[in-house]
Amino acid sequence: MTMTRHDADVARTLQGLEHSRSSVRLQAALAAGTAPDPYFVGKLIERSAIEPEFFVRDTLTWALTRHPVSLTLAGLLCEVRSRHARARSQALHTLSKIGDRRAWPAITRELMSDADDEVARSAWRAAIVLVPGGEEPALASVLATQLGRGERETQLSLSQALVALGELSVPALHAAAKASDPRVRAHALATQRLSRDPDAGFEAAIEEAKRVAALTGAPTADDEKYVDR
């Protein structure tokens, strides 16, 4: 049987996605997104789980968003349960870009508290995009359990997720601002400040909040300017 031009293009793209050079993989991912084809979906998901280069991973995600959700959703939901952290993280990232709320049940508490910071951060971002109306307060409560976790990049990601929930995150942050752990208190106070003044900057907010948290076992009347009512 003679191979058609389409078949040849598909075969070339699939081979390119496995090439040892990242520039070739990048071009193949671009090709897969520019001319979507059902044959690409499995390989795009498979490659996303192991791709070491950020720009290639980002293009793989873009290529997947160019394909029908009916072809991509099931495979991505399988990946969020992978034992490999990169597979979980990239699948969550792609689900957040696709934005189909049928994926919401897969964004579990376990993923939002994953031991791998990148997985947890991807889960937070996906949760904010996919959360159904009415479930935001419960989501805020789960996110608040992660306050104080990690270094600056992780803490900033969590603060941004909580700020994105707006007023619905206020009760959870108010409770966390009274926590016994000074790291949790500081992170909650900094997030509250960012919610009121997005231009304040996370570094300044967290440093000031740390001073408040270190001086008190929990916020007092003197700290009212940091704590939402």
- Amino acid identity of 186? A
**What value does the mean pLDDT take over residues 133-160?**
96
Instruction: Tell the residue number behind the tokens 């029908």, with chain if given.
Output: 68
Which pLDDT band, with edges at 50, 70 and 90, does 1 fall under? low
The band of 215, judged by pLDDT with boundaries at 50, 70 and 90, is low
Confidence at residue 42, expressed as pLDDT on a 0 to 100 scale: 97
Pick the closest to residue 7 from 35, 27, 46 (CA basis).
35
Distance of CA 150 to the CA centre of its chain: 15
Q: In sequence order, which residues have a C-beta less than 8 Å from that of residue 213 and are 6 or more positions away? A: 182, 183, 185, 186, 189
Amino acid 220: pLDDT: 42
Burial class (CB in 10 A: 0-12, 13-18, 19+), 44: buried
**Could you tell me which of 162, 163, 217, 153 has the C-alpha nearest to residue 185?**
217
To the nearest whole number, what is the mean pLDDT of the chain? 90
pLDDT tens sequence across 79-93 = 999 999 999 999 999
Give 5-40 pLDDT, tens digit per residue.
Answer: 788 889 999 999 999 999 999 999 999 999 999 999
- Express each pLDDT in 53-82 by its tens digit: 999 999 999 999 999 999 999 999 999 999
The pLDDT of residue 216 is 57
Q: Among candidates 179, 175, 189, which has minimal Cα distance to 222?
A: 189
Angle at 58 between CA 54 and CA 62, to 5 degrees: 170
The answer to whether residue 224 scores a pLDDT higher than 60 is no
Lowest mean pLDDT among 3-17, 119-133, 139-153: 3-17
Answer whether 172's CB lies under 8 Å from 135's CB. Answer: no
